């Protein structure tokens, strides 16, 4: 009987150890933000009422905004999780493009098409919001985020405008992948 219980108890302890070792606390995420030098871009917030945390950040303005007579054109990335610690990789992310100008940019087209090192990635139509400025909101999978993060030359066609992502823009994608994975510290 002891010979049957001992292996089962050992397996439970090993699995518990693996699960515990792959939990990333809010404190560890905050430290990682500094290590990645992403603490000026990304923020970590916690809402006690809903018991949800959010990591979000906004890019610098795209250079193409001025040529399109926009006050600004930028993007934001985020992911949400329950509690104050990550115990599993995030699989869903939010990508938001924001534009502000005298003329609407996204009213007639809500689609975004990426070109990553020559390969197409079509995100399809976005959830469109027009409040003081325009927003296009997309859900990204981890695989889509990874494709963009690994890209050397990344462009996106947003409505009628094509923008080129700078190395700092692309780094935001790879930083979010690291922050959303409890195994990376």
Residue-range domain boundaries for the chain: 25-179
User: What is the fold of 25-179?
Assistant: Immunoglobulin-like (2.60.40)
SS3 27: helix
How does DSSP classify residue 18?
A: H
Would you list the DSSP string of 64-133? HHHHTTEEEEEEEEEEEEESSEE-S---EEEEEEEEEESS-SSSS--EEEEEETTEEEEEEEPEEEEESE
Average confidence (pLDDT) per 10 residues, the chain, 185 residues? 52 44 85 94 96 95 82 92 91 93 80 95 88 90 96 91 94 96 86
pTM of the full predicted structure? Answer: 0.84
The upper half-sphere exposure of residue 174, i.e. CA atoms within 13 Å in the direction of its Cβ, equals: 11
Quick check: helix, strand or coil at residue 10? helix
What pLDDT shows up at residue 31? 94
**d(C-alpha 73, C-alpha 101), whole Å:** 9
Give residues with Cβ within 8 angstroms of 71, minimum separation 6.
Answer: 65, 100, 101
pLDDT score for 11? 43
Distance CA 114, CA 102 (A): 25
Give the pLDDT confidence score for residue 5 in this predicted structure. 61
Strand partners, 74: 98
């Amino acid at each position: 009987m002891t010979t049957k219980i001992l292996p089962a108890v050992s397996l439970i302890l090993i699995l518990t150890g693996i699960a515990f070792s792959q939990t990333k606390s809010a404190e560890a995420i905050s430290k990682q933000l500094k290590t990645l030098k992403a603490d000026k871009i990304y923020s970590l917030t916690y809402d006690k009422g809903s018991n949800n945390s959010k990591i979000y950040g906004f890019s610098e303005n795209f250079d193409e905004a001025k040529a399109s007579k926009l006050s600004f054109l930028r993007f934001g990335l985020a992911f949400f999780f329950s509690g104050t610690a990550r115990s599993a990789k995030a699989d869903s992310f939010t990508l938001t493009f924001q534009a502000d100008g005298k003329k609407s940019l996204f009213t007639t087209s809500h689609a975004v098409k990426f070109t990553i090192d020559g390969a197409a990635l079509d995100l399809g139509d976005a959830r469109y919001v027009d409040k003081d400025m325009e927003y296009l909101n997309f859900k990204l999978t981890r695989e889509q985020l990874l494709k963009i993060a690994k890209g050397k030359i990344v462009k996106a066609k947003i409505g009628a405008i094509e923008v080129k992502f700078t190395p700092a823009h692309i780094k935001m994608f790879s930083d979010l992948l690291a922050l959303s994975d409890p195994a990376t510290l």
